[in-house]
């Protein structure tokens, strides 16, 4: 079975969030169940060193935004198909934004080109390579299924995966012609959404299947509270919609071998985890004599993640004797808020503004608990890293957080099944109440260690989800 993945990021090469982790880990997991997945990705500057090592396998003169060529290269165990179109991708700044943080004004062309290249490859543009299914990820790849459908019914089947429905790719109707889209598809049953082109909606209308990254989020997005305006479209296609939980790369995230840690450990040598707490506290200037739990945040600093509410609960957290370590970047007022909190509570709160992959591993290993008070969370990966590292997740009951963490309620504790703390109310009060539960549980080392062991034994690999994707592809390919 051949599957062409189309995506705008892929770990470890280029990453802004969980999408990259998924696209980077899924192909290896699929290979274990006999699916060959190649990944079509824009050739951004960090990928330039790979271009001379690869082979040009296709050329397109008429993509949106100009010509591009496809370079096939093997790297990190993956087969990458890089869309080399310097006029679109050779620039400083972020993957989606310029150096001032503003969206690139030609993002519709950049990702329209990616999507059209994907559709052409799915239709056989590379000699000797015929994908059975095209699997598009998020709005940046969402026109690929639309171009396939435009080419007729006798083309490979397609799947769109929604990693976050908040990002839809909305553009004015003037871009339709630039994107070679049929203007007679610009209506409410097609690509149109409140007068604009909505790229994600296009994929929801024209893909054969729709998946999202957890069963709970798959149900949530059918409602106005979570559907971000697309709930009606999704309800109409509910029969094609399913949730497949993300796994994690258990080799890159393994406390027994992780080179970014001060000390490696596993479920049998859990005591050694403490060396990482010592190292993390020293690195961040946190008081080493504090006896409460060290709670961390590793996150985009946005309101989606409920971090405005956490900020309000910081005085309570400190007053209960817990410590807080924050690693993240994002909304300026939240960055400033956590900097101020660190200044107000020296030794008890530390804030590191920035994106630092290696440090994120030490945060996971060195903390006792990881706080994820998201207002919505399609899947979430940091709670899975937390489980794997025996760092108990403290999560809001939403999306994939609700599907992956077992709350320390009485029944779960009696069954020795509890792996973290789940709460409902994302507010300063709700967070303060769950912090009380964390502090009390931490004061009982036997209980805490038994939860850590349950967490570390909880399966977080890709195995069962890779099988679910394989079954879905097989179903589609007939
Ligand atoms: P989202 O995709 O919504 O940002 P996820 O939890 O699915 O949230 O994935 C976030 C990923 O980004 C995780 O791998 C997390 O460790 C990583 N991450 C987020 N912020 C940082 C940061 N400041 N430094 C390092 N890694 C980060």
Domain ranges of the chain: 2-247+462-477, 267-457
Closest Cα to residue 40, out of 70, 66, 67? 70
What local confidence, expressed as pLDDT, does residue 17 receive? 87
Q: Record the pTM.
A: 0.95
Which residue, by CA, sits nearest to atom 17 of ligand 1? 17
Residue 299 Cα to ligand 1 midpoint, Å, equals 5
Q: Is 406 within 8 Å of 420 (Cβ atoms)?
A: yes
Residue 298 Cα to ligand 1 midpoint, Å, equals 6
Residue 357 Cα to ligand 1 midpoint, Å, equals 9
Which residue, by CA, sits nearest to atom 20 of ligand 1? 299
Closest Cα to residue 366, out of 247, 265, 251? 265
Instruction: Name, in order, each residue with C-beta under 8 angstroms of 88's C-beta and a sequence gap of 6 or more.
Output: 42, 65, 66, 68, 106, 109, 110, 113
H runs (alpha helix) in 264-375: 273-284, 307-319, 332-344, 357-366
Residue 56 Cα to ligand 1 midpoint, Å, equals 33
Residue 360 Cα to ligand 1 midpoint, Å, equals 9
What local confidence, expressed as pLDDT, does residue 154 receive? 87
Which residue, by CA, sits nearest to atom 15 of ligand 1? 382
Which ligand 1 atom minimizes the distance to the CA of 364? 16
Who lines ligand 1 at CB under 6 A?
A: 17-18, 21, 298-300, 327-329, 355-357, 360, 379-382
Strand order in the sheet with 2-6: 55-63, 66-75, 78-84, 36-42, 2-6, 133-137, 157-162, 209-212, 241-243
Q: Which of 12, 18, 363 to mutate to test the pocket of ligand 1 (most atoms within 8 A of CB)?
A: 18
Q: Domain 267-457, what fold?
A: Rossmann fold (3.40.50)
Q: Tens of pLDDT along the chain (478 residues)?
A: 999 999 999 999 999 988 999 999 999 999 999 999 999 999 999 999 999 999 999 999 999 999 999 999 999 999 999 999 999 999 999 999 999 989 999 999 999 999 999 999 999 999 999 999 999 999 999 999 999 999 987 899 999 999 999 999 999 999 999 999 989 999 999 999 999 999 999 999 999 999 999 999 999 999 999 999 999 999 999 999 999 999 999 999 999 999 999 999 999 999 999 999 999 999 999 999 999 999 999 999 999 999 999 999 999 999 999 999 999 999 999 999 999 999 999 999 999 999 999 999 999 999 999 999 999 999 999 999 999 999 999 999 999 999 999 999 999 999 999 999 999 999 999 999 999 999 999 999 999 999 999 999 999 999 999 999 999 999 999 8
Do 2-247+462-477 and 267-457 fold alike per CATH?
A: yes
Q: Which of 213, 300, 331, 350 to mutate to test the pocket of ligand 1 (most atoms within 8 A of CB)?
A: 300
Which ligand 1 atom minimizes the distance to the CA of 381? 6
The CA R_g of the chain, rounded to the nearest whole Å, is 23
Instruction: Name, in order, each residue with C-beta under 8 angstroms of 454's C-beta and a sequence gap of 6 or more.
Output: 406, 416, 417, 418, 419
Residue 300 Cα to ligand 1 midpoint, Å, equals 6
Domain 2-247+462-477 has CATH 3.40.50.2000: yes
Q: Is 259 within 8 Å of 362 (Cβ atoms)?
A: no
Residues 363-401 pLDDT 10s: 999 999 999 999 999 999 999 999 999 999 999 999 999
Which ligand 1 atom minimizes the distance to the CA of 329? 23
Give the span between the Cα atoms of 307 and 56, in whole angstroms.
Answer: 45
Owner of token pair 């077992």: 406
| Beta strand extents in 202-261 (DSSP E only) | 209-212, 241-243
Which ligand 1 atom minimizes the distance to the CA of 372? 6
Taking CA atoms, 327 is separated from 36, 114, 295, 296, 366, in Å, by 36, 32, 11, 8, 13
Instruction: Name, in order, each residue with C-beta under 8 angstroms of 265's C-beta and a sequence gap of 6 or more.
Output: 255, 256, 271, 272, 273, 276, 365, 390
């Amino acid at each position: 079975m051949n599957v062409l993945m189309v995506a705008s990021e892929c770990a470890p090469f280029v990453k802004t969030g969980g999408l990259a982790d998924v696209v980077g880990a899924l192909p290896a997991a699929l290979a274990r169940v006999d699916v060959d997945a190649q990944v079509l990705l824009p050739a951004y500057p960090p990928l330039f060193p790979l271009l001379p090592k690869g082979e040009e396998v296709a050329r397109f003169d008429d993509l949106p935004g100009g010509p591009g060529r496809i370079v096939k290269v093997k790297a990190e165990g993956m087969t990458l198909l890089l869309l080399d179109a310097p006029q679109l991708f050779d620039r400083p700044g972020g993957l989606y934004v310029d150096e001032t943080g503003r969206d690139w004004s030609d993002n519709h062309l950049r990702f329209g080109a990616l999507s059209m290249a994907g559709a052409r490859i799915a239709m056989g543009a590379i000699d000797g390579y015929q994908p059975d299914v095209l699997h598009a990820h998020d709005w940046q790849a969402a026109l690929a299924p639309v171009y396939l459908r435009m080419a007729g019914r006798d083309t490979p089947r397609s799947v769109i995966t929604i990693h976050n429905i908040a990002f839809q790719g909305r553009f004015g109707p003037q871009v339709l012609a630039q994107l070679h889209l049929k203007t007679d598809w610009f209506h409410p049953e097609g690509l149109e959404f409140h007068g604009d082109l909505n790229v994600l909606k296009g994929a929801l209308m024209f893909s054969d299947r729709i998946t999202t990254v957890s069963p709970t989020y798959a149900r949530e997005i059918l409602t106005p509270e979570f559907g971000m305006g697309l709930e009606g479209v999704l309800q109409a296609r509910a029969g094609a919609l399913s949730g497949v939980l993300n796994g994690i790369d258990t080799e890159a995230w393994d406390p027994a071998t992780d080179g970014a840690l001060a000390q490696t450990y596993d479920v049998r040598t859990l005591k050694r985890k403490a060396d990482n707490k010592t190292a993390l506290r020293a690195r961040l200037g946190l008081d080493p004599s504090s006896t409460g739990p060290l709670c961390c945040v590793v996150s985009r600093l946005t309101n989606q993640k409920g971090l405005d509410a956490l900020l309000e609960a910081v005085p309570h957290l400190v007053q209960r004797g817990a410590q807080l370590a924050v690693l993240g970047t994002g909304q300026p007022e939240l960055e400033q808020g956590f900097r101020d909190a660190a200044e107000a509570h020296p030794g008890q709160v530390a804030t590191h503004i920035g994106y630092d992959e290696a440090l994120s591993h030490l945060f996971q290993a060195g903390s006792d608990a990881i706080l994820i008070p998201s207002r919505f969370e399609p899947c979430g990966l940091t709670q899975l890293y937390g489980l794997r590292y025996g760092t108990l997740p403290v999560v809001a009951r939403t999306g994939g957080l609700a599907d992956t963490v077992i709350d320390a309620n009485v029944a779960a504790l009696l069954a020795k099944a509890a792996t973290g703390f789940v709460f409902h109310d994302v507010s300063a009060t709700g967070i303060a109440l769950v912090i009380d539960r964390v502090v009390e549980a931490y004061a009982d080392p036997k209980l805490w260690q038994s939860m850590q062991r349950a967490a570390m034994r909880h399966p977080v690999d890709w195995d069962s989800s890779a099988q679910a994707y394989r079954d879905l592809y097989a179903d589609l390919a007939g």
